[in-house]
Amino acid sequence: MLKFLLICTLAVASRAEIAEEEDVLVLKKSNFDEALKAHPNILVEFYAPWCGHCKALAPEYAKAAGMLKAEGSDIRLAKVDATEETELAQEYGVRGYPTIKFFKGGEKESPKEYSAGRQADDIVSWLKKRTGPAVATLAGVTEAESLIADNEVAVIGFFKDAESAGAKAYEKAAEAIDDIPFAMTSDDAVYSKFEVSKDSVVLFKKFDEGRNTFDGELTKEKLLAFVKANQLPLVIEFTEQTAPKIFGGDIKSHILMFLPKAASDFQDKMDQFKKAAEGFKGRILFIFIDSDVDDNQRILEFFGLKKEECPAIRLITLEDEMTKYKPDSDSITAESITEFCTLFTEGKLKPHLMSQDIPEDWDKNPVRVLVGKNFEEVAFDPTKNVFVEFYAPWCGHCKQLAPIWEKLGEKYKDSADTIVAKMDSTANEIEAVKVHSFPTLKFFPAGEERKVIDYNGERTLEGFTKFLESGGKEGGAPAGDDDDDLDAEDLDVDEGQDEDSDGEDGTDDDGHDEL
The question of whether 51 is a catalytic residue gets the answer yes
- The CA-to-CA distance between both ends of the chain, in Å, stands at 65
Q: In 3-state terms, what secondary structure has residue 350?
A: coil
* HSE (side-chain half, CA atoms, 13 Å) at 8: 5
The answer to whether the CB of 25 falls within 8 A of the CB of 42 is: yes
The answer to whether the CB of 200 falls within 8 A of the CB of 194 is: no
Extended strands (E) in 214-335: 235-237, 253-258, 285-289, 312-318, 322-325
The shares of helix, strand and coil residues in the chain, as percent rounded to the nearest 5, are: 35, 20, 45
The answer to whether the CB of 138 falls within 8 A of the CB of 156 is: yes
Which amino acid belongs to residue 165?
A
Bridge-partner residues for 454, per DSSP?
442, 477
Q: Which of 8, 310, 341, 398 is catalytic?
A: 398
The answer to whether the CB of 248 falls within 8 A of the CB of 266 is: no
Residue whose C-alpha is closest to residue 291's, from 274, 313, 275, 273: 313
Q: Which of 8, 51, 310, 341 is catalytic?
A: 51
The question of whether 398 is a catalytic residue gets the answer yes
Bridge-partner residues for 20, per DSSP?
25
Residue whose C-alpha is closest to residue 372's, from 311, 429, 316: 429
Q: Which of 8, 310, 341, 395 is catalytic?
A: 395
The answer to whether the CB of 138 falls within 8 A of the CB of 260 is: no
| Phi, then psi, of 194 in degrees rounded to 5 | -105, 15
The set of residues, in sequence order, having a beta carbon less than 8 Å from that of 207 and lying 6+ positions away, is 152, 233
From residue 305, alpha-carbon distances to 36, 259, 311, 391, 431 in Å are: 48, 11, 10, 18, 20
Residue whose C-alpha is closest to residue 302's, from 402, 435, 397, 454: 435
Bridge-partner residues for 283, per DSSP?
none
Q: Which of 8, 54, 310, 341 is catalytic?
A: 54
Most distant CA pair in the chain, distance: 92
Label residue 45 exposed, middle or buried (CB < 10 Å: 0-12, 13-18, 19+). buried
- Give me the active site residues, please: 51, 54, 395, 398
